[in-house]
Chains A and B, each alone.
Chain A
């Protein structure tokens, strides 16, 4: 006798997603391990993440303390050199990476949650709910996000990483909402969604257990793009002087370097690390995204 669904040992509602079949998971893994874009992208992101997480533990002074000789090029003692004021650029870099990841994860995360929720509800419910949510999405979409952020951040008294991430999250969700809505719109008309309704399932259960799993790769990729976007917006804000007060981030480092004429003075070690950091981080995230796309989408597989 074979397994009876719902009986112990058989796949039931809660454990079904894991049991989705070793076949399918291993197939994804098979292609994931052979995709150079995915491997390169994820290892660079991972290395930078570890640097941001572990690096500050090995630096025994704060990023903004005046610790060494002024305007020193990289040496064995100060790996990335020092600023005009004698701050250790390596310390600033690792702390900056940490806060950059924080803003990216939190800002991207908020945008992801808001965007997917609105997208799912609009796409699944349809009708008047869809009209209203879609109008809201479009209004936020056409707001000049950067300008709103500048105004909001400039007039706000508390200027920490948290507030910055919150504002980025609350302004960058619309495209994710639109993308998820269009997918949900097509998935919601499948017969198995109707069947789940006939099985006495609540709307949110249907969305999370019928619709969302069918677009999980899509959701992962939206999160990565939102993450990278949030990092870029944060760097832009920092660069024009609206970054977190008293903190440090890659964007703030760039701002300081430009503000104290590092470019004209030839202090390349001041502006190259943060600039490269942002570029490499966001760039490898986009490469990671393309790699994931190739793994999840059979039509793009080269093998």
Chain B
């Protein structure tokens, strides 16, 4: 459904744009309907930039993003973009900055109505909103006709998901939607993503949290310095990490029943077998992947 092929993003930085910053390097991946794909990486690994490029909020430097067969990386014209957003929507990291503080929170619904459903009758629209709110398990009396500062982060985040559901979307880009939430509301939002998946939505789940990626996703993509370090079905990536960076990341996850010393000792006792990583020449911008097992890819070493 969504297909990124050799997508690059290069920023010009510094005085007169002399220096270049490579935010995303040769990323290729796919998202199928009913599939949750996690983009996992540290700050600055380019994961949010990929999300923004899919949403058309940031331009693609080179490469192609295809959605249901159409190239969407260079949409020209306002109406084409508007039609694209009818099928692809996003939810951002910070629910508090996603709402304009001087307006009521449910204005995000009104904007959708005026843009996409100007002809719908009031009663139909009301039913639609109530249905969307029911999907995200919000009580309409608690959230409608309120200002953003009167609502909690979890409520706001779920309002944003409800907003996306008003449109008949096929793909949801969820950019760190859990990270600003309390632990108690996190699981609700995660389970909600699971429900959406059941309904056949493709979800691009951007996160820096390995355990969240493991919990929610079918496919995991571990990014480092803009390039894919490891990509594959979540179980395989987490049980058999092949790239040294993914191994390092996984070894950094605290474990409930063991101390660091025990983990380190065990790791030193039987070190994992080194996997032969693909290499690129100096000055080559590409980042090739090799297929280690079926659907499990390993990328270049950039350390």
Residues of A at the B interface (CB closer than 8 Å) are: 1-8, 10-13, 16-17, 19-21, 24, 190-192, 194-202, 210, 213-214
Asked if A199 and B85 sit within 8 Å, CB to CB, the answer is: yes
A208 vs chain B, min Cβ distance (A): 12
**Can you list 16 A-B pairs, Cβ within 8 angstroms, ordered by A?**
A4-B129, A5-B109, A5-B144, A6-B110, A8-B122, A11-B103, A11-B110, A13-B111, A16-B107, A24-B102, A191-B92, A191-B93, A194-B55, A198-B55, A198-B90, A199-B108
> In whole angstroms, how far apart are the Cα atoms of A133 and B115 in the complex?
30
Asked if A3 and B144 sit within 8 Å, CB to CB, the answer is: yes
User: In chain B, what residue has the closest Cβ to A211?
Assistant: B100
> In whole angstroms, how far apart are the Cα atoms of A288 and B230 in the complex?
62
CB of B145 closer than 8 Å to a CB of A:
yes
Partner of A194, one of B57, B115, B130: B57
In the complex, which residues of chain A have a beta carbon less than 8 angstroms from the beta carbon of B22? none
> In whole angstroms, how far apart are the Cα atoms of A295 and B73 in the complex?
46
Asked if B110 and A192 sit within 8 Å, CB to CB, the answer is: no
> In whole angstroms, how far apart are the Cα atoms of A200 and B163 in the complex?
13
In the complex, which residues of chain A have a beta carbon less than 8 angstroms from the beta carbon of B78? 202
Given A21-B147, A199-B108; A6-B90 close (CB under 8 Å): no
Q: Which residues between 126 and 181 of chain B lie within 8 Å of chain A, taking CB atoms?
A: 126, 129-130, 140-141, 144-145, 147, 160
User: In chain A, what residue has the closest Cβ to B88?
Assistant: A198
Asked if B104 and A214 sit within 8 Å, CB to CB, the answer is: no
Q: Which residues between 79 and 116 of chain B lie within 8 Å of chain A, taking CB atoms?
A: 81-82, 85-86, 89-90, 92-94, 97-104, 106-116
Asked if B111 and A196 sit within 8 Å, CB to CB, the answer is: yes
> In whole angstroms, how far apart are the Cα atoms of A2 and B110 in the complex?
15
Main DSSP-derived SS at the A contact region: loop
Given A6-B122, A6-B125, A190-B97; A199-B103 close (CB under 8 Å): no
In the complex, which residues of chain B have a beta carbon less than 8 angstroms from the beta carbon of A11? 103-104, 107, 110, 145
Asked if B92 and A16 sit within 8 Å, CB to CB, the answer is: no
Asked if B145 and A2 sit within 8 Å, CB to CB, the answer is: yes
A190 vs chain B, min Cβ distance (A): 5
In the complex, which residues of chain A have a beta carbon less than 8 angstroms from the beta carbon of B101? 214
> In whole angstroms, how far apart are the Cα atoms of A11 and B110 in the complex?
9
Asked if B100 and A192 sit within 8 Å, CB to CB, the answer is: yes
Q: How many inter-chain residue pairs (CB < 8 Å) link A and B? A: 103
Asked if A210 and B57 sit within 8 Å, CB to CB, the answer is: no
Partner of B82, one of A2, A12, A17, A200: A200
A298 vs chain B, min Cβ distance (A): 13
Asked if A3 and B145 sit within 8 Å, CB to CB, the answer is: yes
Asked if B141 and A5 sit within 8 Å, CB to CB, the answer is: no
In the complex, which residues of chain A have a beta carbon less than 8 angstroms from the beta carbon of B55? 194, 198
Asked if B112 and A10 sit within 8 Å, CB to CB, the answer is: no
Given A6-B125, A198-B85, A199-B85; A192-B111 close (CB under 8 Å): no
Asked if B100 and A200 sit within 8 Å, CB to CB, the answer is: no
In the complex, which residues of chain B have a beta carbon less than 8 angstroms from the beta carbon of A198? 55, 57, 85, 89-90
**19 further contact pairs, Cβ within 8 A, besides A192-B98, A198-B57, A199-B108:** A2-B144, A4-B122, A4-B130, A4-B144, A5-B145, A6-B110, A7-B125, A7-B126, A11-B110, A12-B110, A16-B104, A192-B100, A194-B57, A196-B111, A199-B112, A200-B82, A201-B111, A214-B100, A214-B101
Asked if A191 and B98 sit within 8 Å, CB to CB, the answer is: yes
In the complex, which residues of chain B have a beta carbon less than 8 angstroms from the beta carbon of A194? 55, 57, 90, 92
Q: Which 6 A-B pairs have the closest CB atoms?
A: A200-B115, A200-B82, A5-B106, A199-B111, A191-B98, A4-B126
Given A10-B145, A195-B92; A200-B116 close (CB under 8 Å): yes
Would you give the 0/1 interface string for B29-57, flagging 1 where the beta carbon is closer than 8 Å to chain A?
00000000000000000000000000101
In the complex, which residues of chain B have a beta carbon less than 8 angstroms from the beta carbon of A21? 104, 147
Max chain A C-beta neighbours (<10 A), residue from B86, B107, B112, B113: B107
> In whole angstroms, how far apart are the Cα atoms of A176 and B112 in the complex?
33
> In whole angstroms, how far apart are the Cα atoms of A74 and B253 in the complex?
89
> In whole angstroms, how far apart are the Cα atoms of A17 and B85 in the complex?
26
User: In chain A, what residue has the closest Cβ to B106?
Assistant: A5
Asked if B92 and A5 sit within 8 Å, CB to CB, the answer is: no
> In whole angstroms, how far apart are the Cα atoms of A5 and B120 in the complex?
13
In the complex, which residues of chain A have a beta carbon less than 8 angstroms from the beta carbon of B99? 192
> In whole angstroms, how far apart are the Cα atoms of A6 and B108 in the complex?
10
> In whole angstroms, how far apart are the Cα atoms of A11 and B85 in the complex?
24
> In whole angstroms, how far apart are the Cα atoms of A3 and B130 in the complex?
11
Given A3-B144, A7-B126, A190-B97; A20-B57 close (CB under 8 Å): no
B155 vs chain A, min Cβ distance (A): 14
Asked if A4 and B125 sit within 8 Å, CB to CB, the answer is: yes
In the complex, which residues of chain B have a beta carbon less than 8 angstroms from the beta carbon of A210? 100
In the complex, which residues of chain A have a beta carbon less than 8 angstroms from the beta carbon of B82? 200
In the complex, which residues of chain A have a beta carbon less than 8 angstroms from the beta carbon of B100? 192, 210, 213-214
Max chain B C-beta neighbours (<10 A), residue from A7, A24, A202: A7
Asked if B110 and A5 sit within 8 Å, CB to CB, the answer is: yes
